[in-house]
Amino acid sequence: MLALPGGVLLLIGLWALIAKVGNYPTFILPDPVSVFNELAEITLDGTLWHHTQTTLFEILGGLTLGLSTATLLGYVLAKSPLLERLTGPYIVASQSVPAIAIAPLLVIWFGSGKISKILICALVVFFPILVNTIVGIRSVDQGLKTLMHSLRANRWQTFVMLEIPAAMPVLLGGLKIGVTLSVIGAVVGEFVGSDRGLGYLINLSKGLFNTPLMFAALIALGTISLSLYLIVTGLERWLLAWRR
């Protein structure tokens, strides 16, 4: 974790050097001072929070929906290889279509409000969490299952006391991927059709040739993505402390 601030400072220094040596116009490559001034301005006047809370709501809503449906379906498919063989090709085919191609259709069906963005986020995070759930449940040691059966444990006890703890590392690995993809899903949805959100702010700044504003929105998105990832990492350390 100590390497993170050092890496950020190194990146900012390199960015400032390139901007100074290249002497680029602000609308091509603004220097860090211009970007941080813009970031401070939109933070103080409430613009940043206005758009950030919208994007954050869409991310958390989509992540919750995608996580719940993917883990539920993943558990069912892990327990039924026949059902997985029947539905697997259709699930894979649905994931081969890029989210940017589906987003306009969802906006047409559900409008340009938050619902369409939440659905886009859910679709983006669904597949990696589904796959990790299937792999995690099937990776449970068969000998431990036999032991639970010999102890007369019912299905619920086996699920809670064996399957969830044993599959947790793989499930959390899928969640790490999902939280970063959910940010991408929200931005894609806001690019297609929205009047608020950080994706909308990026689109707006592009039309205004306000590159410092675009960089400020990108910094906010990066902060959200990194924060969510670190939260899941902390959750992973707490839940898997028994493995150390």
Q: pLDDT for 96-142, tens place per residue?
A: 777 778 888 888 888 878 898 999 999 899 888 998 888 888 887 77
Q: How sure is the predictor about 57, in pLDDT bands with cuts at 50, 70 and 90?
A: very high
Q: What is the dihedral of CA 231, 237, 240, 243, to 10 degrees?
A: 160
Q: How sure is the predictor about 243, in pLDDT bands with cuts at 50, 70 and 90?
A: low
Is residue 228 a part of any domain in this protein? yes
Interval 32-53 mean pLDDT: 89
Note the pLDDT of residue 4: 64
Is residue 7 a part of any domain in this protein? no
Interval 14-36 mean pLDDT: 82
Percent residues over pLDDT 90 in the chain: 24
Residue partners of 52: CB distance under 8 A and separation at least 6:
198, 220, 224
Q: What would the DSSP string read from start to end of the chain?
A: -THHHHHHHHHHHHHHHHHHHHT--TTTS--HHHHHHHHHHHHHTSHHHHHHHHHHHHHHHHHHHHHHHHHHHHHHHHH-HHHHHHHHHHHHHHHTS-HHHHHHHHHHHH-SSHHHHHHHHHHHHHHHHHHHHHHHHHTS-HHHHHHHHHTT--HHHHIIIIIHHHHHHHHHHHHHHHHHHHHHHHHHHHHHS-SSSHHHHHHHHHHHT-HHHHHHHHHHHHHHHHHHHHHHHHHHHHHTGGG-
pLDDT digits (tens, 9 = 90+) for 173-213: 889 988 998 999 899 888 888 888 899 999 998 888 888 89
Residue 179 lies in domain: 37-243
CA gyration radius for the chain? Answer: 22
Is residue 20 a part of any domain in this protein? no
Q: How sure is the predictor about 1, in pLDDT bands with cuts at 50, 70 and 90?
A: low
Is residue 21 a part of any domain in this protein? no
Is residue 32 a part of any domain in this protein? no
Q: Does residue 198 contact residue 220 with C-beta atoms inside 8 Å? A: yes
Is residue 9 a part of any domain in this protein? no
Q: What is the dihedral of CA 185, 187, 192, 193, to 10 degrees?
A: 110
Note the pLDDT of residue 221: 93
52 versus 16: the higher-pLDDT residue is: 52
What CATH number is associated with residue 94? 1.10.3720.10
Is residue 95 a part of any domain in this protein? yes
CA distances (Å), 141 to each of 88, 138, 163, 174, 236, in order?
24, 8, 9, 20, 21
pLDDT digits (tens, 9 = 90+) for 64-75: 999 999 999 988
Note the pLDDT of residue 242: 67
Is residue 192 a part of any domain in this protein? yes
Report the domain count for the chain: 1
Q: How sure is the predictor about 146, in pLDDT bands with cuts at 50, 70 and 90?
A: confident
Taking Cα atoms as reference points, which of 71, 79, 181 lies closest to residue 133?
71
Interval 69-89 mean pLDDT: 85
- With 0-12 CB in 10 A as exposed, 13-18 as middle and 19+ as buried, what is 21? exposed
Structure tokens of 109?
């069906």
